[in-house]
Structure 1
Amino acid sequence: MSNKHALNSGLAGAAAAGLVVGLLAAAPAHADEPAKGPSAASVAASDKGGAGQGASVAPNRLSVAATAITRSEVIKRASSWVGLGLQYSWDNTYQGYRTDCSGFASMAWKLATPGLDTTSFVPSGVASWIGKGELKPGDALLNDAAGARGHIVIFGGWTDSSQTSYKGYEFTASGVHHRTIPYPYYSGYGTYRPVRNNSIVDDGASAGGDVPVAGNWDGGKAGNVGIWRDGMFHLRNDDGSTTYVDWGGGSDVPVSANWDGAGPDNVGIFRPSTGQFHLRMDDGSLVLLDWGGGSDIPVAGNWDGGAAGNVGIWRNGTFHLRNDDGSPTYVEWGQAGDRPVSGNWDGAGPDNVGVFRPSTGQFHLRMDDGSLVVLDWGGGNDIPVSGNWDGGNDNPAANIGIWRPSQARFHLRNDDGTPTYIDWGQPR
């Protein structure tokens, strides 16, 4: 694990619903399906658009079952094929899915194997056409032509607020790519329209209820907890009273830190579809920052030791942290399946990063000198939080904790290892 700096900025966890929607429909046949796979020369010649697909799925061969899936899970699944060196073929499979563009999209959407083709996603009832303004990470851009003329790209999020290009995941003749693509697709490769898996669910509150937050809302010595629900922050003060702040909504992800460097901590949201942080100042005003997008997970903390808190994202095991002057600091920490956290673990200098590993119930915390501290706390579907819970002891170090969705209860770890339990929010 290392800490490195670069000049360009980086481009956000939630539980998947368990609902299974059964859909069964006849998929249209290919009128002009090529008889065999592409030649080596044609594969080498193109890295854009379609290169043929497997045969349409007939209803007597496959029940087109679409399982409810969160947007972040779609992006995670799409990312899992990037860099594996898979060869494009409509005859071969990997993990049960055809290794062509539509097989890849079927895998990302967690459809039944071996997958649909570009002519079948909408007619089968698995997906529906949407407008450009509705696009969110996990949706797709689809050219629903047959055979080599058709193609589909998983939408990973806009590259900036102009919405002229986006990060896309696609399987072309030259392999699986994650790259910037002009909207709706490269010129000369057919007609592309936005499409949505009918079984996709938003991350955050829309995907399953309350989302936990933590910060010092009332300016006391100790940190406080809260939840974000349907665009409303419910913040718990030291005396048990509640402060309500209306901020964000939809598939936004809540964050908190002292954005303006004075008074108590502030709230904010990260909007994955635009890659923007919407930060609320003490006076209620808004500051917008472009940082990250798509499946990135937001974090917040004081990375450079200045008076104000900063934003950042965690992507594929690397923190992309924004300093006061807009420059990035990169810190490699964690692995797939981890959930990022941040806090001043050693009580000195700037804030630190860490990850919570649900599979082991352990926090892996990075100190100022790069060393590792491992703490056992929580597990499973618990969501990590951090704050100076026992600040009344005049210890400046941050503590870890978790919010357990099934209980709507915070399990907070004090400096001496003892727990404090706070019921806050609604179980989910």
Structure 2
Amino acid sequence: MFMKNAGLLAVASLSLFGCGGSDMDLPDGDYAPAQAAEEIASIPQGLTRGDVDYRAWQWVNVGMLYCQVPNNQWDSFCGYTCSRTGAANTTQWNPYRSDCSGLVSWAWGVAAPGWNTNTIYNDTTQTQRVGYWDMQMGDAITTHNGTTGHTMIFHGWNADGSARVFQELKCGLRAQDVNIPFVKNADGSLRWVADGRTYWPVRKKVL
């Protein structure tokens, strides 16, 4: 059983690397349009950090397929219909995109279909950037370059200095529980060497 307490969490992490030291799968990110103001204003509140962590882990647990659209819609980017079956097929999250920002949106309790990485990264009315030294369970680690980006939910730091995160990475893959060895920059940002981009820890102002 999954425990919300970080010290008791015991879910096996998946490796980011393939066999034989092959290159890491890099994020497809998201290309979703910006959300309307009325949708952003409808955010449910009252979640704890443990709730956020658990909600992100739920997608890992059910093997949620990466899709840039809600359930049963055609995903023109990935080239397949987003078809969720078994435990992944629920009325709770079927209205959400199941890409990287969809996972963060679901975990944070944002209204469906979810924010995109631009909102998560840049909308200072909803989120704020923090230094990696201030990161807490349930924060998002996010990058956005004006066109696309990537984001993930931070669970905690491992003994080796890597970050344990929950993420949706790319088309054809399912939600992951992974450890990423970020380089910690002096300004508080993080660099993911495998994809060459700088990420910022981002905190939702109201859970």
Give TM-score scaled by structure 2 length: 0.66
Matched, 1:53 2:31: yes
> How far apart, in 2, do the equivalents of 1:64 and 1:50 lie?
28
> Counterpart of 1:132 in structure 2: which amino acid?
Y
Larger strand percent? 1
Q: 2:167 aligns with which of 162, 167, 170?
A: 170
Off by >4 Å, runs of 4+ in structure 1: none
CA contact (8 A) 2:30 2:101 kept: no
Evaluate the alpha carbon distance shift between residue 59 and residue 47 of structure 1 in structure 2; reply closer, same or farther with a 3 A threshold. Answer: same
Specify the alignment match of 2:130 in structure 1: 130
> How far apart, in 1, do the equivalents of 2:27 and 2:101 lie?
11
Kindly state the Cα deviation for residue 181 of structure 1 after the two structures are TM-superposed. 0.9
How do residues 22-421 of structure 1 correspond to structure 2 at under 5 angstroms? 47-60=25-38, 62-65=40-43, 67-93=45-71, 94-121=93-120, 122-123=122-123, 125-147=125-147, 149-160=148-159, 164-173=161-170, 174-183=173-182, 184=190, 186-187=192-193, 188-200=195-207
> How far apart, in 2, do the equivalents of 1:113 and 1:63 lie?
12
> Counterpart of 1:70 in structure 2: which amino acid?
T
Evaluate the alpha carbon distance shift between residue 145 and residue 153 of structure 1 in structure 2; reply closer, same or farther with a 3 A threshold. Answer: same
CA RMSD of aligned residues (A): 2.5
Segments of 5+ residues of structure 2 without an aligned counterpart are 7-22, 72-92, 183-189
Give TM-score scaled by structure 1 length: 0.34
> Counterpart of 2:60 in structure 1: which amino acid?
V
CA contact (8 A) 1:89 1:100 kept: yes
Specify the alignment match of 1:377 in structure 2: none
Kindly state the Cα deviation for residue 57 of structure 1 after the two structures are TM-superposed. 0.5
Kindly state the Cα deviation for residue 91 of structure 1 after the two structures are TM-superposed. 2.2
- Identify which of structures 1 and 2 has the higher relative contact order when contacts are C-alpha pairs closer than 8 Å and 6+ apart: 2
Segments of 5+ residues of structure 1 without an aligned counterpart are 1-11, 14-44, 201-428
Evaluate the alpha carbon distance shift between residue 47 and residue 64 of structure 1 in structure 2; reply closer, same or farther with a 3 A threshold. Answer: farther
CA contact (8 A) 1:56 1:116 kept: yes
CA contact (8 A) 1:53 1:102 kept: no
> How far apart, in 1, do the equivalents of 2:48 and 2:112 lie?
19
> Counterpart of 2:162 in structure 1: which amino acid?
S
Q: Which moved more, 1:52-61 or 1:168-177?
A: 52-61
Give the share of equivalent positions with the same residue, in percent. Answer: 27
Larger helix percent? 2
CA contact (8 A) 2:70 2:98 kept: yes
How far does the alpha carbon of each residue in 1:1-30 deviate from its partner, in whole angstroms, 9 at most, with x for none? xxxxxxxxxxx29xxxxxxxxxxxxxxxxx
> How far apart, in 1, do the equivalents of 2:155 and 2:111 lie?
22
Kindly state the Cα deviation for residue 55 of structure 1 after the two structures are TM-superposed. 1.6
> How far apart, in 2, do the equivalents of 1:58 and 1:189 lie?
31
